[in-house]
Amino acid sequence: MRELEVLAAEIRKNIEVADRIRDFTEATENHDVAILGKTPATALMMAAMIENYYTCLETLFLRISQSFENHLEEKRWHQTLLDRMTLQVPNIREQVISDRTRRELGELLKFRHFKRYYFEFEYDWDRIDFLLKKLKDIHPRVKEELTHFLDFLQAAAGES
């Protein structure tokens, strides 16, 4: 099925983008933050990368949802989308991410929402450090779970 092959290509592409964001975040933390210190400017840089990382994943989750469920209610759709990625839908699709991953990505979602709607320049470095740790810890698992889902898609595309 052509649509599944396109979705598989999008997953591979978004995994690469998420890798690059994670690598850039780590390099920035190890270089720029190490040199400049934990300032409002470096906090803003790190906050933007955390936001970009989650947005990269959410964009992919939205594409998966459109391919399989194709309906999200406007109210709280970001959280609903994340929750739906934990569902295994019999005869439709495999689970995309685990419940544990959903809970941890939920922290990034909350922060992304906060950053987008409550304009701040003075970020709490304790919170930034917490979110950076979440991002570093969760990335290998997200990548593994997306790769597992990619295997499912490739098998499904081969069957049709």
Q: Report whether 107 contacts 54 (CB < 8 A).
A: no
Is it the case that residue 160 has pLDDT exceeding 60? no
Instruction: List the structure tokens of 112.
Output: 């992304």
| pLDDT tens readout for residues 46-88 | 999 999 999 999 999 999 999 887 677 778 899 999 999 999 9
Residue 90 DSSP label = T
Q: Report whether 112 contacts 82 (CB < 8 A).
A: no
- Confidence class for position 97, pLDDT limits 50, 70, 90: very high
Q: How far is C-alpha 35 from the chain's CA centre?
A: 28
Residue with the two structure tokens 């450090």: 129
pTM to 2 decimals? 0.91
- The CATH number of 2-159, from 1.20.120, 1.10.3470, 3.40.50, 1.20.140, is 1.20.120
Give me the numbers of helices (H) and strands (E) for the chain, helices first please: 6, 0
